[in-house]
Amino acid sequence: MPNSPRPEEGRRPVAEPAPPDLRARRARARRILDALGAGNPAPRTELEHRDPYTLLVAVVLSAQSTDAGVNRATRTLFAAADTPQKMVALGVEGIAQHIRTLGLYNAKARHVYELSRLLIERHGGRVPRDRAALEALPGVGRKTANVVLNEAFGEPTLAVDTHVFRVARRLGLSDGRTPAAVERDLLALVPRRWARAAHHLLILHGRYLCKARRPECWRCPIRRLCPHEPKTAAQPPAVKPRFSRPTSWDSGDPGREEG
């Protein structure tokens, strides 16, 4: 049996390898975002919020928590306090009561209280449209500032969370080892058309398709553009048991003794 030709002998692999030069990487990034954005041209955050302030609070609460979990907590929190003034009046203990289901809720409650107090003291109770001012607030780092600047103010920022970090590396858009390095690489590649949406498109792709443990490559719209290997295949449907009703020797109660 003849040996398979090596790639350098002219055969193209099925999936495209990550191109090394910037122009090619930009072109591929555009094709990826065009495909991801085809059915969702204006994606938004899944964190429920009413205005820049409630968005800021929701993003601070989302550290190491799911958006669904944060939304469950903020529904009662924002019913009680949806302005910095009301949040300060609620106090740290009062805030903690609403967010007990979230990890690190005591620290998060302190951050929300203190950032609300500082918004009143420094910014007239408004969320500043300024990265340095945002990052000076407790509990607010670069990622949170990027989300708020993007979602609340329409800035072309790109927040790198765990999903964006993983997806960017799998797609060969970055080989950065830190969120800051991946952010820098992506900002150099994302075309203007997708500058605001790229962050959401990559998050949603990572959350629902390109999952950490088992990416769903078999139904991925950008499979042909992705150099990540191995690609996963769909699981075969589970075989139905021959008997669906319990039998006399399978009562469904393993602890029950036959009498």
186 binds ligand SF4 (CB under 6 A): no
Question: Tokens 């990052």 map to which residue?
Answer: 135
Per CB under 6 A, which region of 48-56, 78-86, 220-228, 240-248 contacts ligand SF4? 220-228
SS3 readout for 102-136: CCCHHHHHHHHHHHHHHHHHHHCCCCCCCHHHHHC
215 binds ligand SF4 (CB under 6 A): yes
Cβ at position 42, least distance to ligand SF4 in Å: 22
161 is catalytic: yes
Catalytic residue among 161, 175, 185, 250: 161
Q: Could you say which of 171, 186, 189, 201 contacts ligand SF4 (CB under 6 A)?
A: 171
Q: Could you say which of 170, 196, 199, 200 contacts ligand SF4 (CB under 6 A)?
A: 170
Interior angle at CA 203, CA 15 and CA 155, nearest 5: 115
Contacts of 171 (CB under 8 A, 6+ apart): 18, 32, 222, 225, 226, 227, 228
Ramachandran region of residue 140, left (φ > 0), alpha (ψ -120 to 50) or beta? beta
Nearer to ligand SF4, 170 or 199 (CB): 170
Cα 19 to its chain centre, rounded Å, is 25
Nearer to ligand SF4, 181 or 225 (CB): 225
168 binds ligand SF4 (CB under 6 A): no
Instruction: Report residue 152 as tokens.
Output: 């609340």
Catalytic residue among 143, 185, 231, 250: 143
67 is catalytic: no
202 binds ligand SF4 (CB under 6 A): no
DSSP 151-210: HHH--------HHHHHHHHHTTS---SSHHHHHHHHHHHS-GGGTTTHHHHHHHHHHHTS
Cβ at position 166, least distance to ligand SF4 in Å: 9
209 binds ligand SF4 (CB under 6 A): yes
Per CB under 6 A, which region of 17-25, 35-43, 183-191, 223-231 contacts ligand SF4? 223-231
- Given a contact cutoff of 8 angstroms between Cβ atoms, the answer to whether 147 and 130 are in contact is no
Nearer to ligand SF4, 170 or 196 (CB): 170
Q: Could you say which of 189, 201, 231, 256 contacts ligand SF4 (CB under 6 A)?
A: 231
Instruction: Report residue 94 as tokens.
Output: 């009062």
Q: Which residues are catalytic?
A: 143, 161
Task: Give me the residues that bind ligand SF4 (CB under 6 A), please.
Answer: 170-171, 209-210, 215-217, 220, 222-223, 226, 228, 231
